[in-house]
A and B are shown apart, each in its own frame.
Chain A
Amino acid sequence: MIEIITAGAPAPEDQARVLALANDADPLAAELEGVDRIELHFPKFTDGRAFTQARLLRQRRGFQGDIRATGDVLVDQLVQMWRVGFSSAVLKEGKDPADARRQFERYAAFYQGDAVVKQPLFARS
């Protein structure tokens, strides 16, 4: 499950080397050497570009570090964030992490493959 970070929580001693990738930046061209964490921003939760960016970084580039969702991060998009390769998300202020956790227990599986379960349902044994 995705690591849910509460907005406004005091940042722990964080020495991570962070790359904040803009929504219009090409994830296939980004320099990832020495990067611990990539932050992808949601200017609005309905702006879906970062879903593709995360997937390409995780699945195509094979990035092993943390991919974090920032910005307009709401409860109901966390499962899909996890599925495309995000490993952490800064939940928007005022949103209840308990509501978020419940969403991860709902579906036994999904039809299509994603960054976590690469094979689609029909190809899983």
Chain B
Amino acid sequence: MYQYTEFDKQFVRARAEQYRDQLERWQAGKLTDDEFRPLRLQNGWYVQRYAPMLRVAVPYGDISSLQLRALAKIAREYDQPDAALLREAQEKQLALGEVPVPGGTPVVTRLKHGYGHFTTRTNVQFNWIPLDKSADVMELLASVGLHGIQTSGNTIRNITTDEMAGIAPDEIADPRPFAEILRQWSTLHPEFAFLPRKFKVALNGTPEDRAALGWYDIGLQLRRSEAGELGFTVRVGGGMGRTPIIGTVVREFLPWQHLLNYIEACIRVYNEYGRRDNLWKARIKILVKAEGQRYIDKVEEEFRAIVEQDGGPHTLTEAELDRVSASFVNPELHPPVRKGADAHLHAIVRADAEADPLYDRWLQRNVRPHRNPQLRAVTLSFKRLGYAPGDATADQMETAAALAERFSAGEARVTHEQNLLLPWVHQDDLPELFAAARKAGLAKPNIGLLTDMIACPGGDFCSLANARSLPIAEAITQRYQDLDEEFDLGDIRLNISGCINSCGHHHAGHIGILGVDKDGKEWYQVTLGGSDGSELSGAATPGKVVGPSFSAAEVPVVIEAVLDTYRRERRATEDGRQETFIATVRRVGIDPFKAAANAARFTEREVA
């Protein structure tokens, strides 16, 4: 992974000092709440329903075992509400009622603390750290090169890319050096710290879009020109929220040397012309949609001026790309050597694993091919009953750190699907890793299956949420605990957001669940057929609503009805396998699913 320079380290420490200065001025009454809010947001500090939330940046998901241990320490020592606050919060959440599970135990909210949460944008969040400890936490983070810079606010946010970046066998080029170049360029950019709205950039390095580029404010697809030169196809103006829009290609081919010049033009035009009068219309997608070609022309004009009149000071050189690329030190790889008792032990572990039907399923779902044929990329599943999707306790983060150290050269990656990926696992170590991960409860072979669902923290924590996400996620997880059934259902993306801000990417889910507020009660809209842009899911598109919203109690039953419809409608494919859920939805349309979903309502309600 990227090795921080002395400059990088010192910069992050300076940021922690700056934050302490700001916090202390706020505590002393020298900054009003309104003046302090954007400052703390630009360091990742929100104030939520009951307590502050901290969002720690994990640039393009890359995290070291040392950093994981620091996050574990924060979870253990700082993610701790006082008893009265926790009691009050718990009572209020219980009052929201339970979600029944067909044939199972009703789900109620049980607030936990002392854990971190992996997000869809590869950040890590904490929910209970008191604000008066926030500067201490920033210093602790800085000591391991972590921070919360621009994880919130109307800024350029954490840059994301494919979790297999740099190790995928089918890569056009490694997107990580460009992601790092963008991280540096966007960090404390003086001109773009108060944009009309938040701004998210993603890169993808393989022919398949694995980074949901169409959904980003700027999506950068690495490609080669006919002449073999490396560059990007640039999309601008994608986004979720109230108005889901897939980004427009504004440049078919941008030579990589001009990456920063062109992005500067895209964002400058947005900073000048983006709407600031209405929060819901302030994202760049609205500007691009409204202006169309005029936006593109303006960007091209500004890009030319940056290069020709300003002299293109940020034009990238071979030397800079080489320098940054060289900072991504690939670990030295030596196959595990096992002699004597070790070899004997390995044989036992291997035989145990191979006798375990779960191991085969784990190899199918959690282990992926690597650029280096000797290696594998292995996903530790943080989707298991009893934990919210993406939640990791202090102990579990430490265990993950130990697994990364033992099996993956001390490196892990936070994935968009809220799991942790180990990128450097030797194939001979797979039985040992399986055994160790299983012992830690992180070997559930459900990657890409129904229970590998995405969910935002929702109404249990977030003050923006209209409804809770986590009890819905838990109810569905509880209902689908039979692995045979899950494997039979196959690849499905189920995404849950507690409100239209879409942190749970419900628009892009094959099945999307969205919390909505009606009469102060929790309701849920269900969508079908959404896509992130991957090969499995098809061209990026928002899902279609199946009908009026459902009560919390109805949701698990409705999801079951939708999945039963799939099992009824699906066909065998040519290779003798079953058609996937999304393929069936595409082929038969959403009507049969809609009918089944609406028939599963508890009571007939008038269709508004």
Nearest CB of A to B110, in Å: 38
CB–CB A107/B154 < 8 A: no
CB–CB B313/A47 < 8 A: no
- Nearest residue (CB) in B for A94 is B30
CB–CB B7/A121 < 8 A: yes
8 Å CB interface, B295-350 against A: 305, 309-311, 313-314, 317, 320, 323
- Given known contacts A52-B268, A76-B39, A122-B320, A106 and B14 CB-to-CB distance under 8 angstroms: yes
- Given known contacts A109-B7, A122-B323, A52 and B190 CB-to-CB distance under 8 angstroms: no
Partner of B191 from A47, A51, A118, A119 at Cβ < 8 Å: A51
Chain A residues within an 8 Å CB radius of B2:
none
Q: How far is the CA of A113 from the CA of B268 in the complex (A)?
A: 15
Nearest CB of A to B44, in Å: 16
Partner of B185 from A74, A102, A120 at Cβ < 8 Å: A120
Q: How far is the CA of A120 from the CA of B188 in the complex (A)?
A: 13
Chain A residues within an 8 Å CB radius of B480:
none
CB–CB B25/A80 < 8 A: no
Q: How far is the CA of A52 from the CA of B267 in the complex (A)?
A: 10
Nearest CB of B to A61, in Å: 10
CB–CB B185/A111 < 8 A: yes
CB–CB B10/A108 < 8 A: yes
Q: How many pairs of residues, A versus B, come closer than 8 Å at their CB atoms?
A: 106
Q: How far is the CA of A112 from the CA of B268 in the complex (A)?
A: 15
Chain A residues within an 8 Å CB radius of B11:
107, 111
- Given known contacts A51-B194, A121-B184, A113 and B17 CB-to-CB distance under 8 angstroms: no
Q: How far is the CA of A79 from the CA of B186 in the complex (A)?
A: 16
What is the 8 Å Cβ interface bit string for chain B, positions 1-31, against chain A (1 contact, 0 not)?
A: 0000001001100100110011001000011
Interface residues on A, range: 35 or more
CB–CB B271/A103 < 8 A: no
- Given known contacts A49-B272, A51-B271, A112-B184, A107 and B14 CB-to-CB distance under 8 angstroms: yes
Chain B residues within an 8 Å CB radius of A118:
311, 313
Chain B residues within an 8 Å CB radius of A3:
none
Chain A residues within an 8 Å CB radius of B272:
49, 52
Residue A41, interface by CB 8 Å = no
CB–CB B25/A99 < 8 A: yes
Q: How far is the CA of A99 from the CA of B39 in the complex (A)?
A: 15
Chain B residues within an 8 Å CB radius of A111:
11, 184-185, 187-188
Residue B107, interface by CB 8 Å = no
- Nearest residue (CB) in A for B314 is A120
- Given known contacts A46-B194, A76-B39, A80-B193, A110 and B30 CB-to-CB distance under 8 angstroms: no
Chain A residues within an 8 Å CB radius of B276:
47, 49
Name 8 interchain pairs, CB-CB below 8 A, sorted by A.
A76-B22, A76-B39, A77-B193, A80-B190, A108-B7, A111-B188, A120-B260, A123-B313
Using a CB–CB distance below 8 Å, which chain A residues touch chain B? Answer: 45-49, 51-52, 55, 59-60, 74-77, 79-81, 83-84, 95-96, 99, 102-103, 106-114, 118-123
Given contacts A75-B25, A77-B194, A120-B314, 10 further A-B contacts (CB under 8 A): A47-B194, A76-B22, A80-B191, A96-B30, A99-B25, A109-B7, A110-B188, A113-B314, A118-B313, A120-B185
A-B pairs with the 4 shortest C-beta distances?
A48-B194, A83-B190, A80-B190, A111-B184
